[in-house]
Amino acid sequence: MKKAVNAICVSILFLSLIAGCKQKDKFNVDDPEILHQNQDMLTQVIIYDVFSPPVASRIYAYSSLASYEAVRFAKKGSPSIVERLNGFGKMPQPTTGKDYNYTLAATKAFFTVVRMVRVFSVDSLSAYEESVYNKFKENLDDSTYLRSVAFGDTVGKAILARAKVDGYIKSRGKPKYLGSADPGKWRPTPPDYMDGVEWCWNTMLPMALDSASQFMPPRPPAFSKDTNSAFYQEAKEVFTIGKNLSEEQIAIARFWDDNPLVMEHSGHLTVGKKKITPGGHWMGIAAIAAKQTKADGVETAQGYALTAIALYDAFIACWDEKYRSSVVRPVTIINEIISREFVPFLQTPPFPEYPSGHSGITASASTVLAHLYGGNFAFQDTSDLRYIGMQRRFNSFQEAAAEASISRLYGGIHYRRSVDEGAKQGKKVGNQIIGRLRL
């Protein structure tokens, strides 16, 4: 029953997006809104298929890069991004003197990649793709249409060549990570006690980083039950804050939860609630920035691609440390040595604590977005509005990132040191991308 309801909801969303295209009297074949709708469709699929945050970042990265590498030829002088990254070959070029529609090419490149990076809802995607391609067919001559589709497909396959050897396929065969019973080490947390997610994500080939450990954070404090120790004091702070949350702190924690699958239990009944991933939230912010500045197709695709790279590399850097130090989560240690009754406001995600992934990826993405759109870019964040009915206003990307970071402390799932060090690491990743691409 639940599966059927989910399928109906996704189908309604797809039809509404299709209807949005039909509302216009004339389909604009160069409208950047097409690229926005493509990205939005991908986010819905990622939510429906319940990908983990690191895996979702990989899907966003490859598909967004494919879109940009195809559409960039619409604006003379727009450089290749992937040719300055690790592991990509020379990108295909359009034939000189021939007509192309590069928005169509970008759409084809985007979905060529999406279909091959382990997205499951292929049938649902097909309905949306067909509607978009039909609109292009109605507004382009046959030769331009076919040439553009072929070029986009070629670009998509060139991007996929790197995806096939980035370490992902090999990582699927790794054993489960069940943590350790050693004092201070991570072990599965309530309510579902799941094994550690993507424990070997540091074996993935980074996009712009020299290595997964390039920006290794400082060592976390040594585990200790001594009430005067740094570790105990950090755990006590999480406990104290959790008992005295203000309405504003609750709102912040809820707004930035971004847990792709929250499990709720009532007796023998278990219900899974699907939501946007942390990366999806920041791809939504990238969309807001592009629309607010009336960015053209090339600028829009570039914003998506650079944000996605920032997310992908930040996850690799963060996960490298998470499973190196394998720090115990607050809920585990607080229940053991402070209060058995403690329940964090947010559900603890299934992987080690240090450093905060949210803090890292938001700092990385906000650093790149601030470079593209300015350090004082005010915006209304409506990325989560359709999912949780909430929106918040920020005066800058950095302000949004700082709030996302501290939300993990309010939510009771991270220590303060972890959010601080995660943010520092993420900012370094973002600056590395800016320098590597010579933005």
Q: Are 155 and 177 in contact (CB under 8 A)?
A: no
Query: Residue 426 contacts by C-beta under 8 Å, 6 or more apart in sequence?
Result: 314, 317, 318, 359, 360, 361, 362, 363, 364, 365, 367, 401
Same domain, 185 and 232: yes
Element (H, E) at 265: strand 261-266
Condensed to tens digits (0 to 9), the pLDDT of residues 373-386 reads 999 999 999 999 99
Same domain, 338 and 410: yes
Same domain, 94 and 188: no
Q: What is the dihedral of CA 120, 270, 1, 346, to 10 degrees?
A: -60
Q: Which of 104, 138, 169 is the last residue of a domain?
A: 169
Q: Are 415 and 237 in contact (CB under 8 A)?
A: yes
pTM of the model: 0.92
> String of b and e for 124-150 (b: at least 16 CB within 10 Å)?
bbeebbebbbebbeeebeeebbebbbe
For 16, 134, 147, the CA distances from 137, given in Å and listed in that order, are 21, 5, 12
Supply the DSSP symbol for 434. Answer: H
Q: Give pLDDT, residue 130.
A: 95
Q: Which of 169, 188, 207 is the last residue of a domain?
A: 169
With a cut of 70, list the residues of the chain below it in pLDDT: 1-25, 118-119, 261-274
Strand 392-394, strand 379-381: pairing: antiparallel
Q: Which of 169, 198, 219 is the last residue of a domain?
A: 169
Same domain, 203 and 83: no
Same domain, 157 and 247: no
Give the span between the Cα atoms of 67 and 103, in whole angstroms.
8
Query: Residue 61 contacts by C-beta under 8 Å, 6 or more apart in sequence?
Result: 207, 305, 308, 309, 311, 312
How many CB atoms within 10 Å of residue 23?
A: 6
Same domain, 263 and 230: yes
Same domain, 45 and 185: no
Q: Which amino acid, 66?
A: A
Q: Give pLDDT, residue 392.
A: 98
For 35, 121, 134, 161, the CA distances from 24, given in Å and listed in that order, are 16, 27, 14, 37
The 3-state secondary structure of 366-417, one letter per residue: HHHHHHHHCCCCCEEECCCHHHHCCCEEECCHHHHHHHHHHHHHHCCCCCHH
Same domain, 163 and 185: no
Same domain, 153 and 189: no
Among residues 138, 142, 135, 132, which one has the least CA distance to residue 107? 132
Domain count, the chain: 2
Q: Give pLDDT, residue 1.
A: 41
Strand 261-266, strand 379-381: pairing: unpaired
How many CA atoms lie within 13 Å of 173's alpha carbon, on the beta-carbon side?
Answer: 3
Same domain, 195 and 257: yes
Q: Give pLDDT, residue 162.
A: 97
Give the span between the Cα atoms of 326 and 219, in whole angstroms.
11
CATH at 83: 1.10.606.20
Same domain, 232 and 198: yes
Structural domain containing residue 119: 2-169
Give the span between the Cα atoms of 407 and 397, in whole angstroms.
15
Supply the DSSP symbol for 349. Answer: P
Q: Give pLDDT, residue 259.
A: 82
Same domain, 140 and 244: no
